[in-house]
Amino acid sequence: MAQAELDQGAHFDAIVVGAGFAGMYTLHRFRQLGMTTRIYEAGDDVGGTWYWNRYPGARCDAESLAYSYSFSPELEQEWEWSERYATQPEILKYAVHVSERFDLRRDIRFERRVTQAHYDDTAGVWRVATDSGDSASAPLLIMATGCLSVPNTPELTGLDNFRGKRYHASQWPHEPVSFEGERVGIIGTGSSAVQAIPVIAGTAQQLTVFQRTPNFSVPAMNGPLDPEFVRAFKSHYREHRDYHKRGLSSGFGDLEVVPRERTPMALTAANLSDEALDAICDSYWQTGGARFMGAVADALLNEETNRRVAAYVHRKIRETVKDPQTAEDLCPTSHPIGTKRICVDINYYETYNQPHVELVNINRSPIERITASGVQLADRHVELDTLILATGFDAMTGALLKIDIRGSNGQRLADKWAEGPRTYLGLMMAGFPNLFTITGPGSPSVLSNMLVSIEQHVDFICDCLTYMREHGYRKVETSLDKEDEWVAHVNEVASATLFPKAGSWYMGANIPGKPRVFMPYAAGVGAYREVCDRVAADGYRGFVFH
Ligand code: NA7
């Protein structure tokens, strides 16, 4: 692709960082407001997380009919998803289609990674620079940098000595990778690995999975979408979207043709016999997907309920996995179910019944070092042709803190967030005027269907900009008081749940030295939307305009 000219001292009404689903929708809406907008994107195409995460088996764990834009009824009617859970190539195709259908690409500069963004108090603009040498300014800066975009590569002794092929799940090559006849090792057993392992096992000669912590996984029950079902579903699309936005389901899908409130959310496990609880869990297990955590309303609130639901999944694992030791090693016991993102799989547990697939519990058999030809465990050496790191991300704050962001009076975001992220509504930080984050820490974000949350954030920002225009304001910021109040509220909501009991990436616990703060807002997209709507109706309470 021919490179567009560098921006040198260019000025826009808004600069957006990132051309994933958040950046693309922002650009579309800003155009409707008549604003000149520039997006800088590190990849050479749109798609964000779906551009980078190309590992085998990568697909969305939210259902395709729900994980899509709702802003254009024509788009949602004309786009055809082929499976219940879309694959990465299909989602990327959708992103490219949207960029073309709405003519977005002319305002996007690809292969430009934003390295710094400094607020100029005197001029009242953000000055932005990229690694390619662009320099541009705009009064408004939107960080659409994604929550899972900075890969975590752990410090494993000898990693660079490995002479075979090495990949990180989230930085997969664009060319096909063959495992035919190969001995493959994979480190990590989060969502990425749980999706990749059954697919890699399909062609590898030998697959060794190095597991530190097992995760709970529920079957996707994936399959092709029935055209008749899709037609009927689409005839109720507005009702579905409204239901997702109000959010008892945190914006995820619904399998009914006509959406309905699901009564089990009102059901707690206290008065349920074990048989009754099993029957409910069975029905959700058979239906498939992450909605399993919604089978009983207090599963993430009550330790005893959680223990009973976890025991149900342990039984499922033991029923599926034939080797008793492997089954025990796959049963998570160190965190309550759902407090780390639950995985959604296609034949994950079944894969361990194949003779050429081995699970190594590295708590029993620690990795001593990576060698030129494989992994040296405490008790033996595993020879490998290919080593895959499926070791996750510096989630939620990583992408923002990688950029040298400085607000009013030169305050560095890295200093402000040294003890953990602080925001008002997950949208704005005190001391950083006219800078909005999309799905940032302090918002429902990674606990929700990201498309629902992205559209809500961008719409809120656009309404706020319209309000500013109507009142002749040029600058919006928030105060430390409001930020303190919101951070306290986010913590209060989190502590009413079991989430803080897990050393999860929601807590920053997967990155050495990262402050342990529960980052997303756990009250759900419906409650969050109500808060934002009330704030807006109240003249944008908590925001200060000049
Ligand atoms: P995750 O969920 O963060 O999983 C990373 C995995 O890598 C997890 O099993 C980790 O074990 C493991 N890990 C990380 N560092 C090490 C080291 N040093 N040694 C051994 N094992 C390690 O990332 P994913 O990419 O799978 O999924 C992220 C999200 O993307 C997912 O939830 C979806 O929303 C999409 P640990 O649990 O830390 O012991």
What is the side-by-side strand order in the sheet with 381-383?
A: 367-371, 374-377, 381-383
Tell me if 390 CB under 6 Å of ligand 1. Answer: yes
Asked if residue 476 belongs to a domain, the reply is yes
Tell me if 49 CB under 6 Å of ligand 1. Answer: no
Asked if residue 269 belongs to a domain, the reply is no
The pairing of strands 543-545 and 476-478 is: antiparallel
Domain range spanning residue 108?
Answer: 8-150+394-545
Contacts of 5 (CB under 8 A, 6+ apart): none
Q: Give the Cβ contact number of residue 233 at 10 Å.
A: 21
Contact 321, 354 (CB under 8 A): no
Residue-by-residue DSSP string for 367-403: EEEEETTEEEESS-EEE-SEEEE---B-TTTHHHHHS
Name residue 111's amino acid. E
Cα-to-centroid distance, 307 and ligand 1 (Å) = 23
Residue nearest to atom 35 of ligand 1 (CA): 191
Asked if residue 24 belongs to a domain, the reply is yes
Q: 3-class DSSP state for residue 304? A: helix
Per the structure, the count of domains in the chain is 1
Cα-to-centroid distance, 152 and ligand 1 (Å) = 9
Cα-to-centroid distance, 502 and ligand 1 (Å) = 13
Asked if residue 239 belongs to a domain, the reply is no
CA angle 50–52–55, rounded 5-degree value: 90
Cα-to-centroid distance, 189 and ligand 1 (Å) = 6
Asked if residue 497 belongs to a domain, the reply is yes
- Of 383, 393, 365, 315, nearest to 212 by C-alpha is 365
Q: In the beta sheet, which residues pair with residue 343?
A: 217
Cα-to-centroid distance, 483 and ligand 1 (Å) = 30
Q: Which of 85, 148, 172, 212 to mutate to test the pocket of ligand 1 (most atoms within 8 A of CB)?
A: 212
Atom of ligand 1 nearest to the CA of 191: 26
Tell me if 392 CB under 6 Å of ligand 1. Answer: yes
Asked if residue 155 belongs to a domain, the reply is no
Asked if residue 348 belongs to a domain, the reply is no
Burial 146-157 (b: 16+ CB within 10 A, else e): bbbbbbbeeebe
Tell me if 222 CB under 6 Å of ligand 1. Answer: no
Q: Give the H/E segment covering residue 94.
A: helix 88-101
Cα-to-centroid distance, 391 and ligand 1 (Å) = 4
The CATH number of whichever domain residue 34 belongs to comes to 3.50.50.60
Q: Could you tell me the two tokens for 308?
A: 């009973």
Contacts of 287 (CB under 8 A, 6+ apart): 221, 255
Q: Could you tell me the two tokens for 97?
A: 């289609």
Q: 3-class DSSP state for residue 229? A: helix
Asked if residue 413 belongs to a domain, the reply is yes
Tell me if 295 CB under 6 Å of ligand 1. Answer: no
Contact 341, 191 (CB under 8 A): yes
In tens digits, the chain (546 residues) has pLDDT values of 557 899 999 999 999 999 999 999 999 999 999 999 999 999 999 999 999 999 999 999 999 999 999 999 999 999 999 999 999 999 999 999 999 999 999 999 999 999 999 999 999 999 999 999 999 999 999 999 999 999 999 999 999 999 999 999 999 999 999 999 999 999 999 999 999 999 999 999 999 999 999 999 999 999 999 999 999 999 999 999 998 998 766 778 777 887 765 544 557 888 899 999 999 999 999 999 999 998 998 999 999 999 999 999 999 999 999 999 999 999 999 999 999 999 999 999 999 999 999 999 999 999 999 999 999 999 999 999 999 999 999 999 999 999 999 999 999 999 999 999 999 999 999 999 999 999 999 999 999 999 999 999 999 999 999 999 999 999 999 999 999 999 999 999 999 999 999 999 999 999 999 999 999 999 999 999 999 999 999 999 999 999
